[in-house]
Structure 1
Amino acid sequence: MRLPTTPFLPASSPSPSPSTSITPPPPSPSTTPPNAPPTSESSPTPTSSLNGKPLLPFSSFLTDTHSRQHTYLRISLTERCNLRCTYCMPSTGIPLSPPPALLTTPEILHLAHLFITQGVTKIRLTGGEPTVRKDIIPLMQELGKMRSLGLREICITSNGIALARKLPAMKEAGLTAVNLSLDTLVPGKFMVMTRRQGHERVLESLRVCEELGIKTKVNVVVMRGVNEDEICDFVEMTKGRNIEVRFIEYMPFDGNKWAKRKMLPYAEMVELIKAKYPTFAKLPEPTANETSKTFHVPGHVGKVGFITSMTHNFCGTCNRLRITSDGNIKVCLFDNKEVSLRDMLRGDGKEEVVKAIWEERKGDVLEEVVRRREEMDRELLEVIGVAVKGKKAKHAGMGNLENMKNRPMILIDDPSNPTKPNPLPHLTPTGEVHQIPISHKPPTTRTATALGRVHFSSPTTLSAIRTNTLKKGDVLAVARVAGIMMAKRTSELVPLCHGLNLTGCSVEIEVFEAWEGWATSAGREWTDCGGVRIKCVVGKVGGASGDWEDRGRGLERVK
């Protein structure tokens, strides 16, 4: 794979070809227009520098209407994860997208390259769990080659389960920082919070990060009644280790059963720490775009941070954009509006163009690839600019966030449409069997009817049933009772079926001479909250064959 030696587009607005017209988004009041020459009063923000001189002015496409310049891009590489953290993923898992719905490696590199040429200086690889992607090392190596275009930082957020052995190659590729998720120092509690084993492997990843000198932050999601008793233990880790422990306020996402009573606010965390470390103090913010409020204990090597999305938002200085693993651009973590960039990279031969960019091409073929690439990027930038310009000044407050529809956390720094129906609802995405939850459904009154038939090869059998001359008794009466009883016991007969309150059930039987058999129709009425059409089917089967094996097999074989 070869990195293109020329940028996709200049960071300033492109000059349209004769056949293509594009109008860049208007710059913010405090932002210099991309094509405007720098002046002493207003000089462009450099995306990188050479001998102290800016290479490119900052792109208006990545500047929103609140004058925020977005230099930080988070790219989700996968929706898959090898843990099942309670605050991140619903207990039943998430529906996995089919592979064609996800961004390919050339598409990821194409978008990363485009954003870098527009002014992005920091890229963070996320998931799901990014280390489960098989080609993460080659992908990171290609990103490393983009540092000559202005990329300064290549970071990764990982749970650490499969990270340790990959770290040396990642550092060589250009990895500059790791955010490691670790919510507890107690192995048993780790299994409860993540629904998996692997605590010691996370600690091993932390150790390797320190050995290799990689800048490391430990992310701790704090939940009241779960792990707030370990806050001071995490602070103690900073005593002799050059790491930053960051406590994150528990945030609401689809499926994580967020409740305000579970959230421990930043102010309470600080009080808990000061009770043990009275000199615990806040540090000056190193940059204007920090998400974390940084503290330290005097004398400790490391630092402590707080991510306060719920109680003290940092929206005013936000410089982050997200690309989900299915290729949507998401301008705010808590904004459910998304725009697909993936679809703009596909169709009409675009897939081949994207792939060709990362392969050797010469002569006329290369010229055609470059021409098509420029057309695609002009279209992409127009859409990106509109999305960024739509970014709000700040996200909703806590009360609104609790009730707002949004992806599960694992799908925000990753994919798949959470509203997409699961074709096999009794299976979780990992293939585990479960009973579909119905507690959220209100009780309703419904009726259903199912029809079945029993055929005979001998008219003698049918005649004996109709005239009730079988020695063991009335077949039709017993069939009615069997159908009703089976309907009532359906949840015991059919795996994963819910028990329901049947308020009425009847089995009707009709004899048809034309095709020498009988038909049953089982109808029932219920008042409950579950889907129960299967009960009618079971009742029908019971009515059709319930007493037959014992009472009629001497005269006839059921077909």
Structure 2
Amino acid sequence: MLLDNHGRPINYLRLAVTDRCNLRCFYCMPEHGLDWLSRAELMSYEEMLRTCRVMMGMGINKIRITGGEPFVRKDIMKLMTAISNLQGLNELTLTTNGVLTAPYVADLKKIGVRSVNLSLDTLDAARFFAITLRDEFASVMHTMQELLKHGIEVKINTVVMAGKNTQDIIPLVNLTKELPVSVRFIEEMPFNGDGHAYSGMTWDYVKIFEEIRSVFPDIQKTPDPTYSTSYNYNMPGHKGSIGIIAAYSRTFCGTCNRIRITPQGTLKTCLYDDGVLNIKDLMRSGADDTVLQGGLLKAMSNREKDGWMAELKSMQKPGKRESMASIGG
């Protein structure tokens, strides 16, 4: 088992395959997009597969494919299929905005993907366009229907934003009445690539819960799974459930079991750090697997205690904030 310097087991890798996205959600990146990475700057699929294999030999057994939007990158299913065949993998999951995903749902089921996180911040088509600057609401809803039809668990990720979609909280909870989906309401985070002024803690996890309880007073707390980032609840008679993720409040750091790799191969041991090791550069310098393992172990032995400490250390360095698209969700 891979442990960090605080004794926390690390078994979950979030692998971002691209920084590019076909939506322009204002909380994730500037309206004009980003300075996209060139092909040479991205990790190749071969490098990603090697990284996964090495990490799985060290205790990683769950991998989530993220972006950007994973399906923007060509032949993403080839990579996912190869990863699904690696020995020791217990779970392969995916986070997607659903715009391009529907045609691949049957293939996802075939390679063993049992759960997909679907980014959806509103159930109103007009507000969807206002948030994303793209007219793709119908495509996302079609993907959700396809996922449910194929028996893949759907977790809807909703970023709660003051003045943008707080009126969607209750309709999204209502969605769980007839559909077996889990809607997770997420505190907004300061990772928009300096595209807009961060709204801060206007809607924290406590306020989100109180908004839901005002309409659903019989809301019931359910047990939170080990390493859960969400506080989980259900409403009597509903087929689905809800969760609230204190992403900015960072109440779950003490049990964090995940690490991230950005599209350019930077290892992040915390969402809020600025990167602690470039795996791609190590590989391209000729490092063998033993050297890679040594670099990973050193990074794990210097992991910050929580997101507040990681952010403080990161803020001491010059440069603008990262975009969530370049971090990997």
Shorter-chain TM-score tier: over 0.9
Report the CA distance shift for 1:328/1:245 in structure 2 as closer, same or farther (over 3 A).
same
Q: Distance between the aligned counterparts of 2:162 and 2:310, measured in 1?
A: 17
Task: Report the Cα offset of residue 318 of structure 1.
Answer: 0.2
- CA displacement, residues 327-373 of structure 1 (integer Å, 9 cap, x when unaligned): 111110001133111011114xx4xxxxxxxxxxxxxxxxxxxxxxx
Task: Report the Cα offset of residue 256 of structure 1.
Answer: 3.9
Contact 2:209/2:244, CA 8 A, preserved across alignment: no
Task: Report the Cα offset of residue 320 of structure 1.
Answer: 0.4
Which of 1 and 2 has higher RCO (CA within 8 Å, sep 6+)?
2
Select which of 210, 214, 237 maps to 1:271.
Answer: 210
Determine the structure 2 residue equivalent to 1:158.
Answer: 96
How high is the TM-score relative to the length of structure 2? 0.94
How high is the TM-score relative to the length of structure 1? 0.56
Determine the structure 1 residue equivalent to 2:53.
Answer: 113
Task: Report the Cα offset of residue 258 of structure 1.
Answer: 4.1
Determine the structure 2 residue equivalent to 1:444.
Answer: none
Task: Report the Cα offset of residue 140 of structure 1.
Answer: 1.2
Contact 1:81/1:132, CA 8 A, preserved across alignment: yes
Contact 1:285/1:293, CA 8 A, preserved across alignment: yes
Contact 1:323/1:329, CA 8 A, preserved across alignment: yes
Select which of 256, 265, 283 maps to 2:222.
Answer: 283
Task: Report the Cα offset of residue 105 of structure 1.
Answer: 0.9
Is 1:236 aligned to residue 151 of structure 2?
no
SS of the residue 1:100 aligns to: coil
Q: Which has the larger radius of gyration?
A: 1
Contact 1:140/1:174, CA 8 A, preserved across alignment: no
Determine the structure 1 residue equivalent to 2:308.
Answer: 396
Contact 1:250/1:263, CA 8 A, preserved across alignment: no
Determine the structure 2 residue equivalent to 1:15.
Answer: none
Letter in 1 for 2:266: N
Select which of 19, 22, 29 maps to 1:89.
Answer: 29
Task: Report the Cα offset of residue 183 of structure 1.
Answer: 0.4
Determine the structure 2 residue equivalent to 1:463.
Answer: none
Task: Report the Cα offset of residue 224 of structure 1.
Answer: 1.0
Contact 1:334/1:406, CA 8 A, preserved across alignment: no
Letter in 2 for 1:396: W
Determine the structure 1 residue equivalent to 2:187.
Answer: 249
Q: Distance between the aligned counterparts of 1:205 and 1:260, measured in 2?
A: 30
SS of the residue 2:299 aligns to: helix
- CA displacement, residues 289-321 of structure 1 (integer Å, 9 cap, x when unaligned): 011110111121111001102225210000001
Letter in 1 for 2:326: L
Q: Distance between the aligned counterparts of 1:293 and 1:397, measured in 2?
A: 23
Contact 2:183/2:243, CA 8 A, preserved across alignment: yes
RMSD: 2.0
- Could you list the runs of 5+ residues in structure 1 that have no partner in the other structure? 1-57, 351-374, 415-559
Determine the structure 1 residue equivalent to 2:254.
Answer: 316
- Could you list the runs of 5+ residues in structure 2 that have no partner in the other structure? none
Q: Distance between the aligned counterparts of 1:399 and 1:101, measured in 2?
A: 25
Determine the structure 1 residue equivalent to 2:295.
Answer: 383
Contact 1:141/1:174, CA 8 A, preserved across alignment: no
Identity %: 37
Task: Report the Cα offset of residue 401 of structure 1.
Answer: 10
Contact 1:334/1:401, CA 8 A, preserved across alignment: no
Is 1:292 aligned to residue 204 of structure 2?
no
Determine the structure 2 residue equivalent to 1:75.
Answer: 15
Determine the structure 1 residue equivalent to 2:328.
Answer: 413
Contact 1:223/1:262, CA 8 A, preserved across alignment: no
Letter in 2 for 1:391: R
Task: Report the Cα offset of residue 91 of structure 1.
Answer: 2.1
Map 1:153-552; keep pairs closer than 5 Å.
153-253=91-191, 254-260=193-199, 263-287=202-226, 289-347=227-285, 350=286, 376-396=288-308, 406-413=321-328
Q: Distance between the aligned counterparts of 2:309 and 2:202, measured in 1?
A: 14
- Count of aligned pairs: 325
Is 1:104 aligned to residue 44 of structure 2?
yes
Range with bigger deviation, 103-112 or 397-406:
397-406
